[in-house]
């Protein structure tokens, strides 16, 4: 909650110009911006004031925050100390109880209309929102209040972006994503279960340095990170194109790094940065480690059938992929009904044939 510019804070914190320029260069590279923008970004940031950030956690597993704190570049420490003023975050802040809530209220008041609201977790709405509460107030209530004074809302994770696991069948708490509850405010959805750490920090960083939200896709996700499917950037794509698929998790194909389509990879229909930015400082990502993509950055991914059934398999019913038994039951039922209808049709035809035979006995003898 400081009025100092980021540049002044950097000096105060002993962060050299070179360090900051290196950091901006890395961010520019991560976001696939022209490298010449690194210096411009550094200048823009130095002149900017750190925005106040209020981070509210609702129906979530805290995995998104865990991911956020694992960001390598920019590291979350550098982000927190230099670029944003994190005025409220349940897990990271030292304060607790009434004092913390008062600090939040004060931050929201002092920065009314200007603070960045970061949300993780879905919001339960059934029965007046009683299934989720903090400090004696429902999540629904807290979100609506915080949303009023926010300049923009950043949803971190699939739960706040699209509903995620709380919203999966049968959704007993009436969980909803943020965009179903707040309207009229710019919302960025950084989906993923959890999102790639650098995608979270990169988006925050971009907002602060550019002063505006990044370009978004139809689902409100930053295009720079969610513009391509995993399939489009997968290093195993040559094997898909050649028709070389691993059949089980330990066979020859799997050991040779073949395509995981038959093991249920949802890469072709999943938009995320895992295949390029990767995880744990570009160490690996699920497919590289031998497991197919589960499509965690897409809406309703929990209810789209088994993670291990190929994308081209039918998925009848709520969460079930077609099995031979399902097919047999369905076809059996259809055959029974069809047979009955056929018998009926045949009966009608036969009686007509009988009438014709009776009318012209020479033409059609017998039956």
Partner 1 sequence: MDLLSFARGPLLQFALFVFALGVVWRIAGITLLRRGKLLSEPRAPLVKALFGGFRTMGSRSWPHPEFIGRTGAGEALGYSYHIGMFIVILAFGPHIQTWAGFLGFDWPALPSGVITILSVLTLTLLLAVLFRRLTNRVMRLLSNFDDYFSWFITTLVIVTGLMATAHFGGPYETLLGLHILSFDVLLLWFPFGKLMHAFYIMPSRAINGYLLARKGAPS
Partner 2 sequence: MTIRLADIGVRLDTGGLGGGAAALLNEVAGLLERLARTGKPGLIDLRNMPLDEFDRERLHAALGEGEIEATLRTDGISRFRETGTPGVWWIEHRDVRDGLIAELLEIAPNPDILSSPAEELERGALALRARLDARIVSPKEAP
Which of these, 212, 325, 310, lies nearest to 268 by C-alpha position?
310
- Judged by beta carbon, residue 1 or residue 333, the one nearer partner 1 is 333
Would you give the binding string for partner 1 spanning residues 306-345, x where CB under 8 A is met? ---xxxxxxxxx---xxxx--x--xx-xxx-xxx-xxx-x
35 binds, among partner 1, partner 2, none (CB under 5 to 8 A by kind): partner 2
Dihedral pair phi/psi, residue 363, rounded to 5°: -70, -40
Distance set, CA 158 to CA 51, 91, 167, 179 (Å): 24, 19, 10, 12
Q: How far is the CB of 112 from partner 1 (least distance, A)?
A: 38
Would you give the binding string for partner 1 spanning residues 200-239, x where CB under 8 A is met? -----------------------------x-xx-------
26 binds, among partner 1, partner 2, none (CB under 5 to 8 A by kind): partner 2
Three-class secondary structure of residue 122 per DSSP = strand
Report the 3 state secondary structure along 233-287: HCCCHHHHHHCCECCCCCCHHHHCCCECHHHCCCHHHCECCCCCCCECCCCECCC
Q: How far is the CB of 36 from partner 2 (least distance, A)?
A: 5
- Where helices occur in 113-213 by DSSP H, the ranges are 139-148, 158-162, 178-181, 197-210
For partner 2 (CB under 8 A), the number of binding residues is 34
CA atoms of 9 and 20, how far apart (whole Å) = 12
- Judged by beta carbon, residue 23 or residue 55, the one nearer partner 2 is 23
Distance set, CA 242 to CA 249, 267, 307 (Å): 19, 17, 23
Q: Which of the residues 235 through 274 are near partner 1 (CB under 8 A)?
A: 240-243, 245, 261-262, 268-269
Q: How far is the CB of 5 from partner 2 (least distance, A)?
A: 14
Contact yes or no for 72/281 (Cβ under 8 A): yes
214 binds, among partner 1, partner 2, none (CB under 5 to 8 A by kind): none
Identify the residue among 95, 105, 130, 282 touching partner 2 (CB under 8 A).
Answer: 282
Identify the residue among 26, 100, 133, 181 touching partner 2 (CB under 8 A).
Answer: 26
Contact yes or no for 222/156 (Cβ under 8 A): no
Instruction: Read off the DSSP letter of residue 120.
Output: E
- Judged by beta carbon, residue 133 or residue 254, the one nearer partner 2 is 254
Residue 11 found at the interface with partner 1 (CB under 8 A) = no
């Amino acid at each position: 909650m400081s009025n100092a510019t980021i540049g002044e804070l950097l000096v105060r914190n002993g962060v050299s110009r070179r360090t900051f320029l290196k950091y901006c260069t890395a961010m520019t590279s991560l976001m696939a911006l022209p490298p010449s923008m690194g210096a411009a970004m550094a200048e823009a940031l130095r002149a900017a004031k750190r925005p106040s950030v209020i981070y509210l956690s609702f129906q979530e597993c805290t995995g998104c925050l865990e991911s956020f704190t694992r960001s390598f570049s920019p590291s979350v420490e550098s982000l927190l100390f230099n670029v944003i003023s994190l005025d409220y975050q349940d897990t990271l802040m030292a304060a607790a109880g009434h004092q913390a809530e008062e600090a939040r209220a004060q931050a929201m008041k002092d920065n009314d209309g200007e603070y960045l609201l970061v949300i993780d977790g879905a919001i339960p709405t059934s029965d007046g929102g009683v299934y989720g509460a903090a400090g004696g107030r429902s999540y629904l209530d807290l979100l609506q209040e915080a949303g009023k004074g926010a300049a923009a809302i950043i949803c971190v994770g699939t739960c706040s972006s699209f509903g995620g696991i709380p919203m999966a069948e049968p959704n007993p708490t009436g969980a909803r994503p943020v965009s179903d509850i707040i309207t009229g405010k710019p919302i960025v959805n950084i989906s993923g279960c959890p999102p790639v750490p650098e995608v979270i920090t990169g988006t925050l960083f971009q907002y602060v340095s550019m002063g505006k939200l990044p370009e978004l896709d139809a689902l409100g996700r930053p295009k720079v990170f969610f513009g391509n499917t995993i399939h489009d950037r997968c290093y195993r794509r040559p094997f898909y194109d050649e028709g070389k698929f691993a059949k089980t998790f330990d066979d020859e194909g799997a050991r040779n790094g073949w395509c995981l389509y038959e093991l249920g990879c949802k890469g072709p229909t999943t938009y995320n940065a895992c295949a390029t930015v990767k995880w744990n400082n570009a160490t690996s990502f699920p497919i590289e480690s031998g497991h197919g993509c589960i499509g965690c950055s897409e809406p309703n991914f929990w209810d789209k059938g088994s993670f291990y059934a190929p994308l081209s398999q039918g998925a009848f019913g709520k969460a079930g992929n077609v099995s031979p038994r399902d097919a047999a039951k369905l076809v059996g039922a259809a055959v029974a009904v069809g047979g009955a209808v056929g018998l009926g049709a045949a009966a009608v035809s036969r009686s007509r044939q009988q009438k014709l035979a009776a009318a012209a006995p020479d033409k059609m003898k017998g039956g």
